[in-house]
Amino acid sequence: MNRISKSDKRIWEIRWHGRGGQGAVTSAQILAEAAYYDGYQGVTSAPYFGAERRGAPVTATTRFSPETIRVYSEVETPDVVVVLDESLLKDDDVTSGLNQGGWLIVNSTRRPAEIGLRGGFCIATANATGIAQGLGLVVAGVYVVNTPILGAFLRATGLLSLESVCQAIKGKFSAADADRNFRAVELAFESTLLK
């Protein structure tokens, strides 16, 4: 297992893969805001999708750095890839460019070794769907897996604090919804499996 050191790089790049309605774009935004609260001066977040419909593959990115970011292109060599829907792993593009020693974080009930992907990266799994079900996090009939997966990101990478994510979530949701969503982050942080 590889924890990422905050001093390793100047710009951290994260690519999110999900399906329309799962909240990949929102989680990318929350992570960028949390990075700012954690002291990073440069933060960006961007969605990449066309005229997609609910359930279609969606990609989003987050970048954060101790200094101002002047890069706005797509993330091609991410340090972390977060997958909100395990079925997307069938697409080779999901892990494309993932840096050696980086993290693949997957919403899955399986253990990391059972994911079956090889590469110079580490794998973390979290049952974000189960956590969302247990807390009743549902929007338009779809379980909200984007906030629990943030807990897996924190556990695997160690790049940000739980407190900064809590602050970002409070700015995005009503008080009651923020509490439930942050509880989802905590539960995923505690239960994430690392390899």
pLDDT tens, position by position, 151-182 = 999 999 999 999 999 999 999 999 989 999 99
What's the Cα-to-Cα distance from 143 to each of 21, 26, 46, 120, 180, rounded to whole Å? 9, 14, 22, 31, 13
Mean pLDDT of the chain, nearest integer:
91
What's the Cα-to-Cα distance from 125 to each of 17, 18, 50, 147, 172, rounded to whole Å? 14, 15, 28, 14, 25
Q: Phi-psi category of 14—alpha, beta or left, where left has phi over 0 and alpha has psi -120 to 50?
A: beta
- 75 secondary structure, DSSP code: P
Q: Is the pLDDT of residue 6 over 70?
A: no
For residues 113 and 65, give the distance between their C-alpha atoms in angstroms, rounded to a whole number.
Answer: 31
State the pLDDT confidence band at 9, using cuts at 50, 70 and 90.
low
Return the bridge partners of 18, or none. Answer: 58
For residues 144 and 129, give the distance between their C-alpha atoms in angstroms, rounded to a whole number.
Answer: 7
Q: Is the pLDDT of residue 112 over 60?
A: yes
The more confidently predicted of residues 92 and 28 is: 28
Q: Which two tokens stand for residue 120?
A: 């110079």
pLDDT in tens, 123-158: 999 999 999 999 999 888 888 899 999 999 999 999
Q: Give the number of other Cβ atoms within 10 Å of residue 185's Cβ.
A: 25
Domain chopping of the chain, boundaries: 12-194
Return the bridge partners of 17, or none. Answer: 59, 83
Q: Which CATH superfamily is domain 12-194 in?
A: Pyruvate-ferredoxin oxidoreductase, PFOR, domain III (3.40.920.10)
Q: Phi-psi category of 49—alpha, beta or left, where left has phi over 0 and alpha has psi -120 to 50?
A: beta
Cα four-point dihedral sign 130, 134, 139, 141:
positive
**pLDDT (average), residues 64-89:** 92
State the pLDDT confidence band at 15, using cuts at 50, 70 and 90.
very high
Q: Is the pLDDT of residue 108 over 90?
A: yes
Per-residue confidence (pLDDT) for residue 93, from 0 to 100:
86
Determine what percent of the chain is predicted with pLDDT higher than 90. Answer: 74
State the pLDDT confidence band at 53, using cuts at 50, 70 and 90.
low
- Residue 150: exposed, middle, or buried by beta-carbon count in 10 A (0-12, 13-18, 19+)? buried
State the pLDDT confidence band at 47, using cuts at 50, 70 and 90.
confident
Q: Is the pLDDT of residue 1 over 70?
A: no
Name residues whose C-beta falls within 8 Å of residue 105's C-beta, 6 or more positions apart in sequence: 80, 81, 82, 83, 123, 124, 125, 126, 149, 152, 153, 156
Q: Which two tokens stand for residue 153?
A: 């990101």
State the pLDDT confidence band at 49, using cuts at 50, 70 and 90.
low
Q: Is the pLDDT of residue 51 over 60?
A: no
